[in-house]
């Protein structure tokens, strides 16, 4: 199953690398969000530093929407999903592969976003390890949930408007937990970031398992 | 419901295209009588609370509505699981109807809670309160569920995907609750007004009455919404069949006109013969 999953992930990433939608469009959008937050909030560095953890994760949720839309678009164009079904791959492997591809893209964008926030908002990172580990854990959960909801709206003609209302409320626990871990890593809040990491890991596991179980039902006859 | 397929379209319309039955009509009468009684108890017979004052009267509605919200969304989760297991339209319709009534009750929970919070906590909204924030996220999750259900789609596809959304939405409830609980460790919410022994008997009775009355309203709405959803899909399914029958009847009339009365006579003489 892992070999099949890797096949699907490599396929998605290869399509992305050739089309360069994420690099040419979503990455600049990521920087744009940081600039917009800076303009909207205040020129006061202290305000920006205090809100940086929350802004980082709100920005991640926004770029997740774009990345998920893009992933679903790859899957629906030219009847790609039917070919996947015909290939007789295990739906769980397809889910795992698509989630992995989304995870890689999200992590790349988060690196860019992190650098932008640290430089433009003048944030000092007190605990880099916590920051990296929690970003990884949160992104696993986001990628799993995003992959499930990405396929839900396929073929209904309303994907762009339906996805945010379905996906964002479900990701509320990730936003809360990841903001806390980053707040701790940036020395901005008095919270135990490592305890919050447990919440992120639990979310990731639950959504990974849900996806592995549910993807077969969602793929059939879509 | 099952007679729709067997009866002719005309009799089916008369017999089944209604969302009420003897049971729901009786329940409706009970609701109409009991709501004024509840209002009498809530506003006239019971006293204002020592600390909460008149705001306590809101709790006769707020608490039952909040409990019924969770009942509704649990029912959606049960219906969703049962649908994926049995693949029966009945369970899918149960999940749909429960979610719709649940969103209404969830909205009422938020509104009554907010109105109650203004005099009691001196604020319309408190981000530090676990149940408040959890309920709001829950509301948004199931608004998304209903948004999905309203999208035109092939019924089986929609039912399957809605079931997954319903189940994940329910799984999400404890996670949201835990995360919000950790998020702000202080909660303003009343922990257990029911069990702290400060309530008078009449207050407790009114609370009980409120639960019964709102429970009856909940059941009435649920059954009525279920029947309506069922009939909606019935129309979708039978719409094409009925249209085809009508079209065939038209062409039959056309044949009669062209060939003359003998054809009709022939059919009437041999009802069991080939047509």
The 10s digit of each residue's pLDDT in B143-159 is 999 999 988 888 888 89
What proportion of chain A, given as a percentage, has pLDDT over 90?
A: 47
Q: What is the pLDDT of residue B3?
A: 40
More confident residue, A123 or A61: A61
pLDDT band at B174 (very low <50, low <70, confident <90, very high): confident
**Chain B: closest CA distance from residue A177 (Å):** 7
pLDDT of residue A24: 86
- Residue B259: predicted pLDDT: 60
Of the candidates A156, A172, A206, the beta carbon closest to that of B137 is on: A172
**Residue A217 is nearest to which of B84, B145, B176, comparing CB atoms?**
B84
| CB-defined contacts A:B, below 8 A | 75
Closest Cα of chain A to B257: distance in Å?
46
> Shortest Cα distance from B169 to chain A (angstroms)?
7
pLDDT of residue A93: 92
Nearest CA in chain B to A156: B153
By mean pLDDT, which of A1-5, B101-105, B185-189 is the weakest?
A: B185-189
Domains of chain B, residue spans:
20-188+199-240
CB contact under 8 A, A176 and B180: yes
Q: What's the confidence (pLDDT) of residue B192?
A: 53
**ipTM associated with this complex:** 0.86
The string of DSSP codes covering chain B is -THHHHS-HHHHHHHHS-S--HHHHHHHHHHHHHHHHHHHIIIIISPPBTTTBGGGGGHHHHHHHHHHHHHHHHHHHHHHHHHHHH--HHHHHHHHHHHHHHHHHHHHHHHHHHHHHHHHHS-S--TT-HHHHHHHHHHHHHHHHHHHHTS---HHHHHHHHHHHHHHHHHHHHHHHHHHHHHS----S-S-TTTSS---HHHHHHHHHHHHHHHHHHHHHHHHHHHHHHHHHHHHHHHHHHHHHHHHHHHHHHHHHHH-HHHHHHHHH-TTS--
Tens of pLDDT, residue by residue over B8-42, are 444 444 445 678 888 889 999 999 999 999 988 88
Q: Is residue B56 over pLDDT 90?
A: no
pLDDT at B189: 61
What is the pLDDT at residue A46?
A: 86
- Among candidates B143, B148, B164 on the partner chain, residue whose Cβ is nearest the Cβ of A218: B164
A23 touches chain B (CB under 8 A): no
Between A53-62, A79-88, B54-63, the lowest mean confidence (pLDDT) is in A79-88
Best mutation target, A65, A169, A209, to test chain B (most B CBs within 10 A): A169
B148 neighbourhood in chain A, CB within 8 Å: 152-153, 162, 166
Q: What is the pLDDT of residues B177-232, one digit of tens each?
A: 777 777 665 455 655 555 455 566 788 888 889 999 999 999 999 999 999 988 88
């Amino acid at each position: 199953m892992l070999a099949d999953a890797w096949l699907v992930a490599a396929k998605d990433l290869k399509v992305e690398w050739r089309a360069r939608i994420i690099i040419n469009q979503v990455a600049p959008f990521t920087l744009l969000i940081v600039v917009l937050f800076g303009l909207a909030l205040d020129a006061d560095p202290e305000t920006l530093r205090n809100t940086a953890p929350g802004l980082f994760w709100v920005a991640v949720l926004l770029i997740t929407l774009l990345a998920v839309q893009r992933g679903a678009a790859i899957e629906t164009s030219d009847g790609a999903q039917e070919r996947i079904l015909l290939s007789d791959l295990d739906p769980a492997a397809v889910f795992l592969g698509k989630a992995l591809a989304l995870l890689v893209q999200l992590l790349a964008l988060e690196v860019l976003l992190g650098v932008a926030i640290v430089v433009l908002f003048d944030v000092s990172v007190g605990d880099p390890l916590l920051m990296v580990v929690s970003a990884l854990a949160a992104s696993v959960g986001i990628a799993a949930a995003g992959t499930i909801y990405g396929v839900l709206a396929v073929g209904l003609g309303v994907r762009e408007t339906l996805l945010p209302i379905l996906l964002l409320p479900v990701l509320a626990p990730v936003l809360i937990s990841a903001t806390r871990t980053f707040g701790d890593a940036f020395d901005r809040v008095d919270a135990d970031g490592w305890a919050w990491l447990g919440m992120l890991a639990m979310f990731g596991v639950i959504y990974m398992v849900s996806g592995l179980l549910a993807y077969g039902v969602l793929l059939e006859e879509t | 419901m099952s007679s729709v397929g067997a009866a002719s379209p005309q009799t089916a319309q008369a017999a089944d295209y209604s969302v009420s039955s003897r049971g729901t009509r009786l329940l409706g009468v009970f609701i109409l009588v009991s709501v004024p009684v509840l209002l009498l108890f809530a506003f006239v017979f019971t006293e204002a609370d020592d600390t909460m004052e008149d705001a306590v009267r809101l709790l006769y509605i707020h608490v039952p509505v909040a409990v019924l919200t969770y009942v509704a969304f649990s029912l959606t989760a049960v219906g969703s699981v049962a649908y994926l297991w049995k693949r029966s339209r009945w369970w899918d319709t149960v999940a749909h109807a429960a979610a719709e009534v649940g969103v209404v009750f969830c909205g009422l929970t938020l509104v009554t809670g907010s109105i109650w919070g203004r005099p009691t906590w001196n604020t319309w909204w408190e981000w530090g309160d676990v149940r408040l924030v959890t309920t709001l996220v829950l509301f948004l999750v199931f608004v998304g569920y209903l948004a999905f259900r309203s999208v035109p789609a092939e019924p089986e596809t929609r039912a399957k995907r809605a079931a997954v959304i319903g189940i994940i939405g329910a799984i999400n409830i404890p996670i949201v609750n835990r995360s919000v609980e950790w998020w702000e460790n202080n909660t303003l919410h009343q922990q257990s007004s029911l069990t702290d022994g400060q309530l008078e008997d009449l207050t407790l009775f009114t609370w009980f009455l409120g639960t019964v009355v709102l429970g009856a309203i909940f059941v009435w709405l649920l059954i009525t919404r279920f029947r309506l959803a069922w009939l909606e899909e019935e129309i979708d399914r039978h719409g094409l069949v009925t249209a085809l029958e009508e079209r065939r009847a038209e062409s039959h009339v056309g044949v009669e006109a062209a060939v003359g009365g003998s054809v009709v006579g022939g059919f009437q003489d041999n009802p069991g013969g080939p047509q």
